[in-house]
């Protein structure tokens, strides 16, 4: 790629960057020049991509997901339930996950994300039934195939129903197995540096599904291996009650006792923190993945993003698992976050630009990648380009606002590390009809009986 000609993405209809009215020049996976109004690139010998019909955004970054859940969307047995009973209905189905089904589930989730303008995604995989020990390796292979940048988390659960937890015995592992495999996947897959395409983080599922010993040992291991930490926290009132009964304190106190309250950690949801807890999170530089669709679908509540930001807590956006959304469309998630937060805070405190900022720069902070999420010289050439020629955009004024307000849902072009991963609204080489057929069949097999 370094030998390829620089590309001038010329004269965009609109672009989420200042001083780039005539576009940007990318080379070797990086943005090397912004071209202001009335100027031409200083870079010589550029190939030109005419962006006259495109709104150009930094590639969107998804900070929370469970890819395998694409296999259990809109499942009647789990519908219309809150988090704990929802989990209890789904665990026995997820226990039937196989390597082939996971490969398909990941392919579907990552493809949906890419086509919605996402260039970097996390995944939180925490179910490990017998035979699925290589789950993270399977995910890495799919990410490489599709050309999406990933931060995959090695999830874990070691408290089953036998120990007072929610999951059945068949999907949990013991602490030694979890820690050994965590070290293995980091050693095998984790890349360092600004051009990393695959990174690994460690991610016990939640305080109610892992032991205190595993929470602490995971934080120690993440420190030793210098990787990030992730878990669900403060998602429901049930969780507050569970922590109070089990540990005699609130979820954030417990997290702190386990050595997790630091800049290495980003947390999914963060709905039920009080003002003091938000201050502590801000001081510790722990960040939050806001999952607006999931929080609405499971009626969990609403993350107080404005109070969080005022307390110095960074906010990113996550679609969450496809069984609690039930889609993986990150651009739609931006709109959902915008609408939910505007309803909470009013028209003057939340704009479409805030929602886009959460899904780009904010999400980049969650995944610990300051070189992502922004169109500026030296940042990664990760871009999402949208056309506005659908009926839904007809008659628009401001093109950037139209993306959020008119409900953009499909990118026309997506560039990851300087390479086109989506062209003309499609992923080159991906037979979508074939994937849907095989994925549906795997889903039916899991859901049967």
Question: Stretches 22-30, 196-204, 214-222, 320-328: which one binds Zn ion (CB under 5 A)?
Answer: 320-328
Q: Smallest gap, in angstroms, from Cβ of residue 268 to Zn ion?
A: 5
Nearer to Zn ion, 41 or 105 (CB): 105
Bridge partner residues of 61 (DSSP): 120
Nearer to Zn ion, 320 or 354 (CB): 320
Q: Let me know: does 404 contact 386? Beta carbons within 8 Å.
A: no
Q: Minimum distance from CB of 70 to Zn ion (Å)?
A: 13
Among 103, 112, 309, 320, binds Zn ion (CB under 5 A): 320
Can residue 412 be called a binding residue for Zn ion (CB under 5 A)?
Answer: no
Q: Of residues 361-400, which lie at the interface with Zn ion (CB under 5 A)?
A: none
Binding region for Zn ion (CB under 5 A) out of 48-56, 99-107, 315-323, 398-406: 315-323
Is 123 a binding residue for Zn ion by CB under 5 A? The answer is: no
Length of the chain: 449
Neighbours of 77 (CB within 10 A): 12
DSSP state of 347: T
CB of 342 to Zn ion, least distance (A): 24
> CB of 69: closest distance to Zn ion in angstroms?
9
Q: Which stretch binds Zn ion (CB under 5 A): 191-199, 202-210, 314-322, 384-392?
A: 314-322
DSSP code of residue 361: I
DSSP assignment string, 413-444: EEEETTEEEEBTTB-TT--HHHHHHHHHHHHH
Does residue 271 contact residue 240 with C-beta atoms inside 8 Å? no
CB of 165 to Zn ion, least distance (A): 16
320 vs 333, beta carbon nearer Zn ion: 320
Closest CB to Zn ion among residues 319, 403? 319
Q: Please identify, using beta-carbon distances, which residue of 320 and 382 lies nearer to Zn ion.
A: 320
Contact predicate 159/211, CB 8 Å: yes
Question: What is the closest distance, in whole angstroms, from the C-beta atom of residue 318 to Zn ion in the complex?
Answer: 8
The minimum distance between CB 65 and Zn ion, in angstroms, equals 7
Cβ proximity to Zn ion, 33 vs 320, nearer residue: 320
Stretch of residues binding Zn ion (CB under 5 A), selected from 319-327, 351-359, 360-368, 395-403? 319-327
Nearer to Zn ion, 112 or 320 (CB): 320
Count of residues of this chain found to bind Zn ion when the rule CB under 5 A is applied: 1
Stretch that binds Zn ion, among 6-14, 46-54, 167-175, 318-326 (CB under 5 A): 318-326
- Spatial CA neighbour of 272 closest among 246, 238, 297, 247: 238
Tell me the H-state helices in 40-152: 83-94, 99-115, 135-146
Torsion from C-alpha of 398, 403, 404, 406, nearest 10 degrees: 90
How many CA atoms does the CB half-sphere of 247 hold within 13 Å?
A: 20
Measured from the CB atom, the residue of 63 and 341 that comes closer to Zn ion is 63
Whole-angstrom CA distances from 153 to 99, 294, 315, 316, 403 are 17, 19, 19, 17, 30
What whole-number distance in Å separates Cα of residue 245 and Cα of residue 172? Answer: 22
**413, HSE (Cβ side, Cα atoms, 13 Å):** 22
Binding site for Zn ion (CB under 5 A): 320
């Amino acid at each position: 790629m370094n030998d390829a000609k620089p590309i001038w993405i010329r004269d965009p209809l609109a672009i989420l960057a200042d001083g780039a009215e005539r576009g940007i020049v990318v080379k070797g996976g990086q943005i090397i020049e912004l071209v202001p109004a009335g100027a031409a690139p200083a870079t010589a010998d550029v190939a030109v991509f005419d962006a006259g019909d495109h709104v150009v955004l930094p590639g969107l970054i998804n900070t929370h997901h469970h890819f395998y859940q694409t296999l259990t969307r809109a499942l009647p047995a789990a519908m219309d339930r809150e988090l704990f009973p929802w989990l209890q209905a789904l665990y026995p189905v997820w226990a039937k996950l196989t390597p082939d089904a996971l490969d398909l589930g990941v392919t579907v989730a990552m493809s949906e994300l890419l086509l919605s303008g996402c260039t970097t995604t996390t995944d939180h995989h925490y179910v490990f039934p017998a035979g699925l020990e290589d789950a993270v390796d399977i995910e890495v292979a799919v990410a490489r195939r599709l050309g999406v940048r990933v931060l995959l988390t090695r999830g874990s659960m070691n408290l089953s129903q036998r120990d007072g937890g929610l999951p059945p015995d068949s999907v949990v592992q013991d602490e030694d197995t979890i820690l050994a495999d965590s070290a293995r996947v980091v050693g095998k897959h984790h890349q360092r540096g600004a051009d990393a395409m695959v990174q690994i983080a460690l991610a016990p599922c939640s305080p109610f599904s892992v032991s205190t010993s595993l929470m602490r040992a995971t934080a120690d291991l993440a420190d030793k291996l210098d990787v990030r930490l992730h878990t669900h926290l403060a998602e429901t009132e049930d969780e507050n009650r569970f922590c109070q009964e089990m540990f005699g304190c609130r979820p954030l106190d417990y997290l702190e006792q386990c050595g997790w309250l630091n800049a290495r950690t980003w947390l999914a949801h963060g709905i039920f923190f009080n003002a003091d807890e938000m201050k502590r999170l801000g001081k510790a530089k722990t960040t939050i993945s806001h999952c607006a669709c999931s929080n609405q679908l499971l009626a969990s509540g609403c993350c107080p993003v404005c109070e969080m930001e005022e307390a110095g807590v960074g906010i990113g956006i996550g679609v969450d698992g496809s069984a609690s959304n039930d889609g993986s469309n990150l651009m739609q998630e931006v709109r959902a976050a915008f609408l939910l937060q505007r309803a909470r805070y009013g028209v003057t405190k939340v704009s479409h630009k805030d929602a886009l900022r959460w899904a780009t720069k904010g999400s980049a902070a969650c995944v610990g990648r300051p070189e992502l999420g922004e169109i500026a010289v030296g940042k990664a050439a990760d871009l999402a380009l949208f056309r506005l020629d659908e009926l839904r955009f007809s008659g628009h004024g401001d093109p950037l606002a139209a993306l959020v307000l008119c409900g953009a849902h499909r990118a026309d072009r997506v560039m990851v590390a300087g390479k086109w991963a989506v062209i003309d609204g499609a992923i080159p080489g991906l037979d979508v009809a074939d994937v849907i057929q095989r994925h549906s069949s795997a889903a039916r097999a899991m859901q049967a009986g």
